[in-house]
Amino acid sequence: MSTTEEFDPALDEAVREVVTHLPRPRAGKDLTRTDAFRAQWNTAVELGWTGILDDADFTDPGSPESRELLDAACGAVTALARAGFALPLRQTLVARYATAEALPADAIAVHPTAYGVWEPAATALVAADGTVSMPVDGGTADEVDLAGRPYRLMYEMGEGGDEAGEALPRRVADVAELLLLQEILGAAEGAVAEARRYVTERVQFGSPLIKIPAVRTIAGELTVSLRQLDTAVHEARRRFRAGDEHSLHFALITAREVASAVSTEVTRAAHQLHGAMGITEEASLHWRTKLLWADRDEGVFSRDRGLDALPADEVELWTLTTPARAGT
Amino acid sequence: MTDTSEDLRRRVRELVAEWDFTPRCDSWASGYDTDFSQELGRRGLLAVTWPKEFGGAEGTNVDRFAVSEELLRAGAPVAAHWVGERQIGPSLLRHGTRELQEEFCPELARAKYRFALGMSEPDAGSDLAAARTRAVRDREGWRVTGRKIWTSGAHRATHLYLLARTSSEEDKHAGLTEFIVSTDSPGITVSPILDLRGEHHFNEVVLEDVHVPGHWVIGEVGAGWQQVVGQLSFERGGPERFLSTYPLLTAVIRAGLADHTGLRELRALAGRLQILRRWALENARAMDAGHTPVTQAAMSKYLGNKFEMDVIEWARPLMPRADRNIHALYDQAVATSPASGIRGGAAQVMLSVIAKGHK
Ligand SMILES: Cc1cc2nc3c(=O)[nH]c(=O)nc-3n(C[C@H](O)[C@H](O)[C@H](O)COP(=O)(O)OP(=O)(O)OC[C@H]3O[C@@H](n4cnc5c(N)ncnc54)[C@H](O)[C@@H]3O)c2cc1C
C-alpha cells in the first residue's frame, strides 16, 4: 500500500524489527498484568519512543523542528499499531508534551485527552493545566476495553466528554486527536495487510483465494477504505503544520468520522477474508482488530461531536474541503 | 495549487457568474450548451494543457483540474465539449499524427468540433475488447461496419471516436484500431435511447459501410487497445466522478434544510468530499509527472460513485421542506444515479482493477 506521504521508513522498519521479537500476551486479559506488556513497554522506553515530544513546543507547527518531532511521534505510534501492539505510547507522548514537568523515562503518563484509557495503570497523571500528580489507588473498579487496555469509566470520573475537552489547550487536544488517528491508520493498515496476505497464500478450490472474483471485490473495497483513511489523516497532519485552527478542526473532525467508518469496514471485511483463523489469538489480525475497535470507540461521547466544525454555506464547504497546499 | 490554477479558477467563476443558466446535477453529461462551451474556448479555458500551436495554454493537468472543478461546482452546462476536451484531444496529442493534431486539436479547443465516444457495443460492455465493429481498408481509406451503443451526445456531435477491429487475432486485445468518423458521413444512423427521465442523451449508432479517410486513424493500426487504456485515466480520474450531485448537496446546505441527523451525516460526507478532491488532484499531478494512474483513477471513480449515491440518500428525507429548484436537482440526481456506477466502467470492474493494482 503506497501512502500519500510516507513517514520515516527506517523508523517503521525499526519498530517492526523490535516487535517481532516481543512476546504477545494472552487474549482477553488486562494487558498490563502480563509479562509481555512489561517487556514491550521497557523496549519502547529504552528506544526513546516515549520521550519524542518532551521538548516539542509546536508554537510554530510548520517549522522543521516541529515537523520532525511530529513525524517521529506519528511514525512510532503508527508503526506500533500496524504491528498490532497496544501500548500506552500515544497517551504518554501527549501527557509528556502537555506538561513542563520532568517525568521518569518509564512513566505511563495519562492526560485527560486519553479519556481514561490506561488510567488505572498510570504512574503519572497530567492534568488539563499541565500539573502532575501521582495516582492514588482509589479502589475504583477498573474496566478493560476491547484491546485489553484498562480504563476508567467516564461517568465515574465525572467528566462530560466534549465539554471536558473544551477546557484543554487546543494544541494538546489536536496532537492527541492526530495521534489517535495515526494509531487507527496503523492498525487498519496492519489488518488489511494480514487479510491480503491470507487470501494470497490460502489455497481453496485449487488456487489462491484472491483469484475468486468475489474475494477480489472485497479486497478492492478494503484498499479503497484504507486509502480514504490514509488521505484523511495526512490531510489533518498537513493542516496541523499549516497552523490554521479552523481548517484543522474541520479536518480532524471529519477524519475521525472517516476513521470510525473505515475501522468498521476494515474489521468486518478483513475477518471475512481471513476465515476462522483470523479470530484466533495466533493470528496477528486478531490484535489489530481489537485495537481498531477500541480506538474507534474511544472518547466518542456524543453523536453530535464536532457539528460546530461544519460549514454553513457552499463557499465554506468548498474552502474547507480544498486540499492543503503542497509543502505543508 | 499554483497561482495559474488559482487564476483559472477565478476566470471560470467570472464566466459562470455572467452566464445565464440553471445549475444542474450531472451537468458534464447532460448540460449541453454549445455557446457556453465555445465561450470557454474563446476565454482560453479549454484545452489548457495542450500546446499553444494547437489552441492550448501549455498548462498542467492540475490547471485543467482547477477549471473542471469550478465548472462542475457551479453545475454549468459543459457536456458539449467534455469528452472531446477531456480525452480525445489528449489522445490525439499522444498518439495522433501531426496532420491529425493540426486538423482537430484547434477545433476541439474552441469547441467547434464536438466528439462522442463510440466504444461500447451490444456485445462489448465491460469487456470492451470484445468489440466487433469492423474496419476494412480500401483504396481511399477505410470502410466501417458495425453497431455502437450508449453513445452519449452522438446526435449532437460533429465526430465520433470509434474503436473498431481491423484484423482477427486470437487475442481479442490485438487487432483493434482507433478512428475518427464524421457523424454526417453517409451510412451512419443515430437513433435515440431515452434514459430514466425520458431524456435523450445517449444513442445507438449503426454504421453501414461508412467511409473513413485513411489518415483519420489515431496512432497505430492494431494498437487501439493499448491506446484506449491510456484514455481511461482521463475518463475515470477526474472530479466529474464525484461532483455530479454537488449542486444538490450545496443547494440543501444553502437553504439550511439539514436537520440534526442531516448535520451529523454531513460530517461524514464533507470528510469524503475532502478525500475525493485530494485524490482527483493527485491523479492530475500523476499525469503531469508522466504517469497513467489507472488504479488510482479506478479508486476515485469507485468512491466517487458511492459518494454521489450517499449525497442523494442524505438529501432524500430533507426534501419535503425543499423548494421547486431543489426538487428539480434532486430528481436529476436520482434519475441519473444508476448511470453513475456503470458509465466509464462498472463498479465491480473498478474493484477488480483496484485489487489487481494492489497485489
Ligand atoms: C449514462 C451512460 C452513458 C454512457 N456513455 C457511453 C458513451 O458515450 N460511449 C460508450 O462507448 N459507452 C457509453 N456507456 C456505456 C458504458 O461504458 C457501459 O455501460 C459500461 O462499460 C458497462 O457495460 P454494460 O452496460 O454492457 O454492462 P455489462 O458489461 O453487461 O455488465 C453488467 C454488470 O455486470 C457486472 N460485471 C461485468 N463484468 C464484471 C466483472 N468482470 N467482474 C465483476 N462484475 C462484472 C457489473 O456490475 C456490471 O455493472 C454509457 C453508459 C451509461 C450508463
Q: What domains sit in chain B, N to C, each tagged with a CATH number? A: 3-113 (1.10.540.10), 116-222 (2.40.110.10), 238-357 (1.20.140.10)
pLDDT for residue A127: 95
Q: Using pLDDT thresholds of 50, 70 and 90, give the confidence band for residue A1.
A: very low
Q: Please name the residue whose Cα sits nearest to atom 38 of ligand 1.
A: B126
Check pLDDT > 80 for residue A152. Answer: yes
pLDDT for residue A247: 95
- Ligand 1: residues with CB < 6 A are A 213; B 116-117, 119-120, 125-126, 150-152, 202, 339, 342-343, 345-346, 348-349, 352
Which region among A12-26, B76-90, B171-185 has the lowest average model confidence (pLDDT)? A12-26
Check pLDDT > 70 for residue A160. Answer: no
Among A86, A33, A16, smallest CA distance to A290 is for A86
Q: Please name the residue whose Cα sits nearest to atom 24 of ligand 1.
A: B125
Query: Over the stretch B4-47, which tens digit does the pLDDT of each residue have?
Result: 899 999 999 999 999 999 999 999 999 999 999 999 999 999 99
State the best of B275, B291, B295 to mutate against chain A, taking most chain A CBs within 10 Å: B275
Residue A117 forms beta bridges with which residues? A151
| Cα of B329 to nearest chain A Cα, Å | 16
Q: Mean pLDDT, to the nearest integer, of A1-10?
A: 47
pLDDT for residue B162: 98
Instruction: Locate the ligand 1 atom nearest the alpha carbon of residue B148 and give its number.
Output: 11
Between residues A162 and B301, the one the model is more confident about: B301
Instruction: Locate the ligand 1 atom nearest the alpha carbon of residue B346 and give its number.
Output: 49
Residues A277, B359: Cα–Cα separation, whole Å: 21
For chain B, the residue count is: 359
User: Left (φ > 0), alpha (ψ -120 to 50) or beta: where does A327 sit?
Assistant: left
Check pLDDT > 60 for residue A163. Answer: no
pLDDT for residue A164: 47
Q: Using pLDDT thresholds of 50, 70 and 90, give the confidence band for residue A306.
A: confident
Residue B145 host element (H or E): strand B141-149
Cβ separation of B263 and A307 shorter than 8 Å? yes
Query: Over the stretch B148-200, which tens digit does the pLDDT of each residue have?
Result: 999 999 999 999 999 999 999 889 999 999 999 999 999 999 999 998 888 89
pLDDT for residue A3: 39
| Cα of A47 to nearest chain B Cα, Å | 33
Residues B22, B324: Cα–Cα separation, whole Å: 13
Instruction: Give the strands of the sheet with A124-126, arranged side by side.
Output: A109-110, A124-126, A132-133
Option in B264, B279, B354 nearest A304 (CB): B264
Based on the number of CB atoms within 10 Å of its own CB, is A92 exposed (0-12), middle (13-18) or buried (19 or more)? buried
State the best of A1, A197, A212, A224 to mutate against chain B, taking most chain B CBs within 10 Å: A224
Question: Residue B190 C-alpha to ligand 1 middle, in angstroms?
Answer: 20
Check pLDDT > 80 for residue A157. Answer: no
Question: Residue B309 C-alpha to ligand 1 middle, in angstroms?
Answer: 18
Query: Over the stretch A31-87, which tens digit does the pLDDT of each residue have?
Result: 888 888 888 899 899 989 999 999 999 999 999 999 999 999 999 999 999 999 999
Q: Which three cell numbers stand for residue B260?
A: 440534526
Q: Mean pLDDT, to the nearest integer, of B242-258?
A: 96
Nearest 5°: the CA angle B46, B42, B107 is 65
The SS3 of residue A125 is strand
Residue A216 host element (H or E): helix A213-242
pLDDT for residue A27: 67
Neighbours of B40 (CB within 10 A): 27
Question: Residue B142 C-alpha to ligand 1 middle, in angstroms?
Answer: 28
Option in A219, A227, A253 nearest B267 (CB): A253
- Closest chain A residue to B296 measured between Cα atoms? A224
Query: Over the stretch A263-293, which tens digit does the pLDDT of each residue have?
Result: 999 999 999 999 998 888 888 899 899 999 9
For CATH 1.20.140.10, the residue range(s) in chain A are 170-320
pLDDT for residue A168: 82
Cβ separation of B281 and A323 shorter than 8 Å? yes
Q: Mean pLDDT, to the nearest integer, of B215-227?
A: 96
- Max distance between CA atoms of chain B, in angstroms, equals 70
Mean pLDDT over the full length of chain A: 87
Percent of chain B with pLDDT over 90: 89
| Cα of A58 to nearest chain B Cα, Å | 25
Cβ contacts (< 8 Å) between A198 and chain B: which residues? none
Q: Mean pLDDT, to the nearest integer, of A157-185?
A: 78
Residues A57, A283: Cα–Cα separation, whole Å: 40
Q: Which three cell numbers stand for residue A134?
A: 501521582
Cβ contacts (< 8 Å) between B288 and chain A: which residues? none
Residues A295, A250: Cα–Cα separation, whole Å: 20
Class of domain A170-320: mainly alpha
| Cα of B300 to nearest chain A Cα, Å | 9
Option in A224, A307, A322 nearest B299 (CB): A224
Cβ contacts (< 8 Å) between B254 and chain A: which residues? 313-314
Cβ separation of B274 and A232 shorter than 8 Å? yes
Between the alpha carbon of residue A209 and those of residues A212, A213, A214, A276, the distances in Å are 6, 9, 9, 14
